[in-house]
Amino acid sequence: MLAAASLTDVLPEVDPGPEYSFGGSSELATQIREGAPADVYVSADPRLARALARGGLTSAVADFGANRLAVVVPADNPASIREPADLARPGVRLVIAQEGVPVGDYAREALRRLDLATALDRVVSEERDARAVVGKVALGEADAGIAYATDVEAVGSGVRAIEVPSAAQPRIGYAVAIVRDGAAARAFVARLLGAPGREVLREEGFAAP
């Protein structure tokens, strides 16, 4: 199963049986185009999944969850980040995901909506997925990052979240599609879309699609 890194803690709870490979959704989509073996693709950007389906590389796409962005800061918050506007202050070290990675594109969209494009001048590192963004902040290698709210919660006491206003939130959804049809793939998708998946997603802080 090729799946978005922000689902690292979720999917093994939904179904512990499969072998998972987690990463940036765009990178995983490229792997599928290049013929990487996979039964199922789970994306943090439904557009990527639908592009694969249009190309005949996956089955029809099903939406199953939603998320929100948050500004993540170290627990001791040495740069005194209190609100997203503080990300544009001189001297702030910001980390976001790479352009083309869903969480990176969502972060850039949120900054544009907040009229904080100048905060991109504070970026000291661009990471391959949301978990790597949170990891950099937790290690003290950045003053702040922009990641999914669920990833901030998953790290625990090492970091804390600062809310991004609803008006600036991009529409963040998750989608699943079968790459190689078979009983195992169909069973996994059924669990993810059914009551077991909905319950785990709710407990981990994800919203309905």
Asked if pLDDT for residue 46 goes beyond 80, the answer is yes
Out of 3.40.50.620, 3.90.1310.10, 3.40.190.10, 3.90.1420.10, which CATH number does the structure's domain 2-66+172-203 have?
A: 3.40.190.10
State the pLDDT at residue 35. 95
State the pLDDT at residue 207. 94
Asked if pLDDT for residue 18 goes beyond 80, the answer is yes
State the pLDDT at residue 7. 96
Strand partners, 69: 148
Instruction: Work out the average pLDDT over 33-55.
Output: 96
pLDDT digits (tens, 9 = 90+) for 108-117: 999 999 999 9
Q: Where are the domains of the chain?
A: 2-66+172-203, 69-168
Out of 3.40.50.300, 3.30.70.260, 3.40.190.10, 3.40.50.2300, which CATH number does the structure's domain 69-168 have?
A: 3.40.190.10
- Classify 170 as helix, strand or coil: coil
Confidence of residue 154 (pLDDT cuts 50, 70, 90): confident
Half-sphere exposure of 83 (CA within 13 A, CB side): 5
